[in-house]
Amino acid sequence: MPAAAPHRDHARKMARLVFARSGILKPPVDVRLIAKNEGLDYDEVDFFSDDVDALIGPVKGRIVAVVNKNQPLTRRRFSLAHELYHYLEGEILVLEDRYTTGGLRESEMTKAGKDPREVEADTFAGDLLVPKALLKDYVRLSDPRGDVADLFEVSLTTVEINLDYYLTLLKP
């Protein structure tokens, strides 16, 4: 039986709601502050293997997103936002996140065989870190996507996926 399709619209709506609650007015989005405000603790460790970006689960009575400290800052921020989605969805016992977008466009993610919940978490993370409410102002001011990625402290892939999605909304 094929896996259910990911609910990207739900993930995007949740990202907009969480971002709106944050009160953040300019990039980069402080994902650590958002996680804390949402009740998710955060820690970084340097003993994960390279194929593990982050884990989420109970630690001494708290729910903690533990992120691989050896990953680049942009990856760590994305991983925390990704795990925040799992936390908000009550998926705290799903302990491993070994998936990354790996440069795939959103339309290719499910074709690559990713678990729909992982696709949703990636969608949420991208939209939370590069919210449309902030992105539209900076795209007008700075056309190079690399500058936008630096400003939002996310990967170029995350900016490109979000820009591609937002541009499809503008088409008649």
Classify residue 3: in a domain, yes or no: no
Q: How far is CA 38 from CA 42, 46, 66, in A?
A: 11, 25, 16
Band (161; pLDDT cuts 50, 70, 90): confident
Classify residue 124: in a domain, yes or no: yes
Closest by CA to 67, choosing from 93, 85, 86, 47, is 47
Classify residue 108: in a domain, yes or no: yes
Its domain, for residue 152, covers 8-170
The structural domain count of the chain equals 1
Q: How far is CA 29 from CA 6, 73, 136, 152, 167, in A?
A: 25, 13, 15, 7, 21
Classify residue 112: in a domain, yes or no: yes
Residue 157 has pLDDT above 60, yes or no: yes
C-alpha–C-alpha distance, residues 99 and 70, integer Å: 16
For residue 172, the SS3 value is coil
Classify residue 63: in a domain, yes or no: yes
C-alpha–C-alpha distance, residues 44 and 24, integer Å: 23
Band (133; pLDDT cuts 50, 70, 90): confident
Over the stretch 43-88, which tens digit does the pLDDT of each residue have? 999 999 988 999 898 888 899 999 999 999 999 999 999 999 999 9
> Is there a contact between 5 and 116 (Cβ–Cβ < 8 Å)?
yes
Classify residue 1: in a domain, yes or no: no
Classify residue 2: in a domain, yes or no: no
